[in-house]
Amino acid sequence: MLSRSCRALALLVAATALTPVATIAQQAAPAPATPELAAPATPGANAVLRVDQPGAKIDRRIFSQFAEHLGAGIYGGIWVGAGSKIPNTRGYRNDVVAALKDLKVPVVRWPGGCFADEYHWREGIGPRKDRPTKVNTNWGGVTEDNAFGTHEFMDFAEMIGAEAYVSGNVGNGTPTEMAEWVEYMTAPAGSLAELRAKNGRKQPWKLPFFGIGNELWGCGGNMRAEYAADVTKRFATFIKVPAGTKIDKIASGASDTKYDWTEVMMREAGKLVDGVGVHYYTITDNWTKKGSATQFQEVDYARTIEKTLLMDEIITGHSAVMDKYDPEKRVNLAVDEWGTWFDVEPGTNPGFLFQQNTMRDAILAALNINIFTRHADRVRMTNIAQMVNVLQAMILTDGPRMVLTPTYHVYHMYKPFQDATFLPMDVKSTWYSKDQWAAPTVSATAARGTDGKVYVALVNTDPNNPATVSTAIQGMQATSATGTVLTAPQVSAHNTFDAPNTVRPQPFNGATVGPQGLSVTLPAASVVVLTLN
Ligand code: AHR
């Protein structure tokens, strides 16, 4: 089902031809103000923060998530049904809903993934007792009773304060079925609006994002790019919403570095869509043996970190193609699936993609977010895979128990970056390496939040040494810095149902502001978010 290129040659070259100093291009636009900036002699970075040169808005939707009918992603994780002993509101788990509300999830993508291209929306509306039970052919071959359908999803999104991104069925659906689903959700009048009202919802829902299939090159129909582009145009033509409302149509995008797919999609269908997706998962080894989520050596850690940094190249590559057809950057590059994909936890259903989540995942999440902020002009939505109990999840559940993962904590720490204004940072970092795998020791991003404050996020990828970051600040007289740190003695540290607070954010007191600017000592393997005062 899933074929992907492992990694880009360029990254291999970069890793094998290492120089001791890394120049990180944090944003293309302004010429460096301090060309003499050099990396320090010990692990860390020297940086210049340009508060006086604000860049693009960091769309809050880059912090969005993905929830598929897969394993316990929906059933058990979000939905337990009103009759459950697990505390719930109309069937939704109270603990999970509260945790997600606190995270300010901007958008949830649903119902797939591969599930979307076999999903028939009419099977998930009306009295639950009348809904058909199907087999989830993509994920474990288990039965799907359609208890969680359109109404349940839209209500859930409203409960947590998120916008909806619904993926339609191109694979084995029809343009009529897709058009009628959109009409059912959005029309103020007509037979489908009456059916919606009969099923409990009089008011149309807001539907800001709609996906035209998923992975059309694979589980969505094994199409060639040319055919997929034609099909996308055909389906997109019939997706219509009432006057005065807007829907962003998002074309099914490429896998990792398959730039040809984006080229064809943009050339043929670019004018009919508002976004093009791209998917990139970080695996340690290969698709046959991906690697353990928790039992790994330092070399596996370094390899995973290096591989995730390919995201920057992937976005740069697809953006360059899109720039040819859309220099105004109207079309969003939506990274609508990304995150770690490890071997499932021993003893769990291989089709359920249940994996633990460690400090390594947290570092990887922060590295990716930092990359997304640097591409804020083109990347206006990303959806980490997935929300609960699947792949790089925010939340894990076990019956009535719930645990917040290190990845959840990173998303919580980065909340001030939602809808903030990007502030460029030049960073000269040393490198962390283990055997042939390497990454810059320090990753950084900065922004002015909607509250007017300046925020700096820093990552130390080195699991063995603290990193010192010295930052000159241009355009702001900062006097102090306060913040939060996420770290752990081992990068494999994780939260369990019995020990849920092993990895959790703590107040950070390793930052000082003086005449030379901001000076920060990052603990080994850490993520820090600072507020400059
Ligand atoms: O997120 C799991 C699966 O990964 C999705 O269903 C599919 O789109 C991708 O291959």
**Which range marks the domain in which residue 286 is found?**
60-299+332-418
Last residue of a domain, one of 373, 390, 418: 418
Q: What's the CATH code of the domain at 105?
A: 3.20.20.80
Residue bearing the CA closest to ligand 1, atom 8: 113
Residue 304 forms part of a structural domain: no
* Centroid of ligand 1 to alpha carbon of 315 (angstroms): 19
Residue 486 sits at φ, ψ, to 5 deg, of -120, 120
Ligand 1 atom at minimum distance from 214 CA: 8
> Distance from the CA of 67 to the center of ligand 1, in angstroms?
10
Q: Give me the catalytic one of 118, 263, 313, 337.
A: 337
pLDDT in tens, 254-312: 999 999 999 999 999 999 999 999 999 999 999 999 999 999 999 999 999 999 999 99
pLDDT over threshold 60, residue 213: yes
Would you call 3 exposed, middle or buried from its count of C-beta atoms within 10 A (0-12, 13-18, 19+)? Answer: exposed
- Kindly indicate the confidence band of residue 14, based on its pLDDT and cuts at 50, 70 and 90: very low
Asked if 428 and 21 count as a contact pair (C-beta separation under 8 A), the reply is yes
Q: Is the same domain home to 501 and 368?
A: no
Closest C-alpha to ligand 1, atom 4: 113
- Decide if 256 is inside a domain: yes
In the chain, % of residues over pLDDT 90: 93
Q: How does pLDDT run across 414-440, given as a tens digit for each residue?
A: 999 999 999 999 999 999 999 999 999
Q: Which residues line ligand 1 at a C-beta cut-off of 6 Å?
A: 2, 68, 112-114, 214-215, 337, 385-386, 391
The helix (H) or strand (E) run that includes residue 48 is strand 44-50
Has residue 316 been placed in a domain? no
Instruction: Examine the domain organization and report whether 130 and 225 are in the same domain.
Output: yes
Number of domains in the chain: 2
Ligand 1 atom, smallest distance to 68 CA:
6
Domain co-membership, 74 together with 51: no
441 three-class SS: coil
Q: Is 215 a catalytic residue?
A: yes
pLDDT for 36: 78
Q: Whose CA is nearest to atom 5 of ligand 1?
A: 113
Average pLDDT, the chain: 94
Ligand 1 atom, smallest distance to 385 CA: 1
Rounded average pLDDT over 113-141: 97
Instruction: For residue 337, indicate whether it is catalytic.
Output: yes
Does the N-terminal peptide bond of residue 386 adopt cis geometry, omega within 30 degrees of 0?
A: yes
With residue 47 as reference, give the H or E element that holds it: strand 44-50
Q: Is the pLDDT of residue 27 over 50?
A: no
Residues 187 and 262 reside in one and the same domain: yes
Query: What token pair was written down for 459?
Result: 């990552």
User: Is the pLDDT at 343 greater than 80, yes or no?
Assistant: yes
Farthest-apart Cα atoms in the chain, separation = 71
145, 101: one domain: yes
Q: What is the mean pLDDT of residues 312-326?
A: 98
Is residue 108 domain-shared with residue 197, that is, in the same domain?
A: yes
Indicate whether 178 and 253 sit together in one domain.
yes
Ligand 1 centroid distance, CA of 116 (Å): 10
> Which phi and psi (to 5°) does residue 406 adopt?
-55, -35
Give the atom of ligand 1 at the shortest distance from the alpha carbon of 391.
1
Output the CA 16–ligand 1 centroid distance in Å. Answer: 31
Q: Is the pLDDT of residue 28 over 70?
A: no
Contact, 39 vs 45, CB < 8 A? Answer: yes
Residue 25 lies inside a defined structural domain of this protein: yes
Measured by CA distance, the residue closest to atom 10 of ligand 1 is 2
pLDDT of residue 35: 55
Give dist(CA 130, CA 123) in Å, integer. Answer: 9
User: Which residue of the set 152, 180, 215, 268 is catalytic?
Assistant: 215
- In-domain check, residue 236: yes
Q: Shortest CA distance to 296 belongs to which of 359, 363, 386?
A: 359
